[in-house]
Structure 1
Amino acid sequence: MSKALAILFCIALSFQVDAQLYLGNFVGDDSDEINGTWNYDIPFGIPIPIKKFNDHFKIIFTPAYTFSQTFLSDKWVVDSDGTTTSIELDSDPAHVYKKSIFTHQSKIRTWSWEARLGLESSIGKFKVDLFYAPRYIQVGSFRRRYVQENEVIKVKDRFRDKADYYNINRFQHRVKASLSYWGLGVGGYLNLTPFFKSSTDIDLKKFGLTLVIRNEFWTNLLDLKGDDEETERKNPDVKQMMF
């Protein structure tokens, strides 16, 4: 993660906006070959309560802007002639791709607008979220990094440079859900729309999983005074025993 992105993520957390790190990859018929070690999705959004039914159920709308980076498993090259999109391995023997903890330095990067609308339910210390989250890919690129004759070569193929935008489905339908207890839990998303259009015959859909840490977790962890007050409220006699 770049230094600027890390700073942006910390700022988002400090303002208590919705910022989570999703780890995942692709599912689909071609995912076994294409999938790298992992990808990450970082949405920056502001939850806005729309309707509150009672103390346990409410509808929330969250506009968000998302940075995503997907690492591919090998030296894959995505190409387009302006009409047809293809993906194949780099066949040039002079291009040396060095393996890292991620992949062979071949990846996809996108910036997207997202609008989440869904239900948040609280039952005791449990909290459940279920959202429909359509997304529009604003900009993106396919990136590769390799060594040729002892020189590091960086290739950035922007989606917008091709007339067909590499046949990417820019409007993505997505569902998200999470379950937490006492502010700590798990969540994830699954794209219902293929990443590429069906005309490419490339079957890939994105998914992601995340560890959910809500504000309540830090409140419950640090607010020891609140625990004492709760004990006093339930049992007033305890207060007389304290010094």
Structure 2
Amino acid sequence: MAEYEGEPERIWDEYEWERFLQQQDGKTEKYMQLLETYLDDPERDEIIAREMGWTQLLDAKDWSSEVDALLDEGLAEQDETDIENISRSADTFEEHDLYRAAFALTIWIDQLFDENASFQNEPAAVKLATHAALASAKLAAALSGDNLDEIGMTIAYLKRALKAITISMEAAAQLRTPERKITPSQYAALQHRLFRVRDGIITLMGDYRSEWRRRFGPENFRG
């Protein structure tokens, strides 16, 4: 990736990519919170600029384009890479067995909701569905790139997919009660699908970490 925060251009490992992704998540979340808090304040833009550290905007007149540009600045290069990789490699990730298993899991959960209308108002069921979908999306991001120089980014996205599927597994366990109406056979099928995705992510992370060590040497691996 290109130079970031004054660092020379070099290959990032998974931890540097994760730090970058977390920083962008934090900036976006902070901006959205500020926007919600000061939405009706006549000095909203000045307050947001000050809180975000966008001092160069305090005297600006055209706020909408300037704020959007600054908010997207850190994500622009990442998004450009993601879009390019997805458009170039869509067939690749869609044909990957792990992504197909994750996508099939989301379809299966949708069918479970169709069979159990009460799940729409069940927090554990909603958490199960949303994080299974999130895991599928993170896998798509991880598997879209075909540039081995971005192994660190791939591993970082796989770690996020693993976190999401783990939360889904915890939510599934909460549904294993009579009042929540999931049958033993449904729960067994759900567990099988969840474990298949989780184990696949762990295996793939191991493969990419091995490739990182092979390409860049064990001294550059912090796993």
Report if TM-score (shorter chain) is over 0.5: no
In the superposition, the TM-score normalised over structure 2's length comes to: 0.23
In the superposition, the TM-score normalised over structure 1's length comes to: 0.21
The structure number with the bigger radius of gyration is 1
Please state which structure has a larger fraction of its residues in strand.
Answer: 1
- Structure showing greater relative contact order (alpha-carbon pairs closer than 8 Å, 6 or more residues apart): 2
Please state which structure has a larger fraction of its residues in helix.
Answer: 2
